[in-house]
């Protein structure tokens, strides 16, 4: 069994993977001010509730886009399971079957998305990740990471309105019936959620046009199902795609280490 950890700007996601599938996926807020012991307690409790002894975890893999949390989580995994996790970063990218664009600038989650899409589909693909940021990561059928587009995520956009305006409330992420908002809540939902439908369609369409149409689109991320009207542009919706990519990176790095030992 493996524990795969993906630390984003909003949540830290922990996945328990057996030989063929995700048995459990747990989420907790990614708080920079929490000590390693707090995350350790949560992980111990999750494993206890699942009936999984610590000794059953063979390997751990860590991906993080929050530098302040990376050493905290790395220390926690090492102390809890007795071995250092594989940490996703520029040092391991040469071991991957994809060519990573600007390895010291690109987020580990985007590399994981690209690898997972390349491995799963073997076609030119744009991965649209609905998270704290809305990201578009395009990888070619030959395994070259072609480029990335980044916009604020759905919740980020709504929270920004709430935080930076005096009279606009924070509203739930629900699709309104009309683009003609008849209340403040519906007006924000129309502007953000329906507006983001146009944003996603436009960017995916432009990416496909620049690649002469030979590009499938795949959605992932915790908010990937919040705009049902977008489903027609996606070949697949895989909420666990980023975790899949982190897991694959860990397996490739571990295999390389075993070959050289």
Catalytic center residues: 109
Edge-to-edge strand order for the sheet containing 216-220?
A: 145-152, 133-139, 125-130, 216-220, 236-237
Residues 6+ apart with CB under 8 A from 29: 10, 11, 12
Looking only at the bridges linking them, the beta strands covering 145-152 and 216-220 are unpaired
Looking only at the bridges linking them, the beta strands covering 59-64 and 22-29 are unpaired
């Amino acid at each position: 069994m493996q524990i795969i950890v993906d630390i984003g700007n909003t949540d830290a996601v922990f996945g328990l993977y057996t030989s063929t599938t995700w048995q459990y996926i747990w989420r907790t807020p990614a708080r920079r001010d929490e000590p390693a012991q707090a995350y350790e307690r949560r992980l111990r409790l999750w494993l206890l509730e699942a009936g999984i002894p610590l000794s059953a975890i063979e390997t751990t893999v860590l991906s993080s886009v929050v530098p302040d949390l990376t050493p905290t989580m790395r220390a926690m995994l090492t102390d809890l399971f007795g071995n250092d996790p594989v940490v996703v970063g520029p040092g391991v990218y040469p071991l991957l079957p994809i060519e990573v664009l600007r390895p010291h600038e690109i987020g580990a989650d985007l590399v994981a998305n690209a690898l997972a899409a390349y491995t799963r589909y073997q076609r030119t693909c744009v991965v649209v990740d609905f998270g704290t940021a809305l990201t578009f990561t395009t990888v070619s059928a030959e395994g070259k990471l072609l480029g990335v587009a980044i916009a604020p995520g759905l919740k980020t956009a709504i929270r920004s309105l709430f935080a930076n305006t005096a009279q606009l409330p924070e509203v739930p992420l629900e699709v309104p019936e009309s683009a003609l908002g008849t209340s403040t809540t519906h007006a924000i939902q129309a502007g953000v959620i329906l507006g983001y439908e146009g944003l996603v369609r436009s960017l995916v369409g432009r990416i496909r046009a620049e690649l002469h149409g030979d590009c499938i689109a795949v959605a992932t991320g915790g908010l990937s199902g919040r705009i049902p009207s977008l489903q027609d542009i996606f070949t697949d919706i895989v909420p666990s795609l980023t975790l899949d990519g982190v897991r694959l990176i860990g397996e490739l790095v571990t295999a390389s280490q075993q070959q050289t030992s």
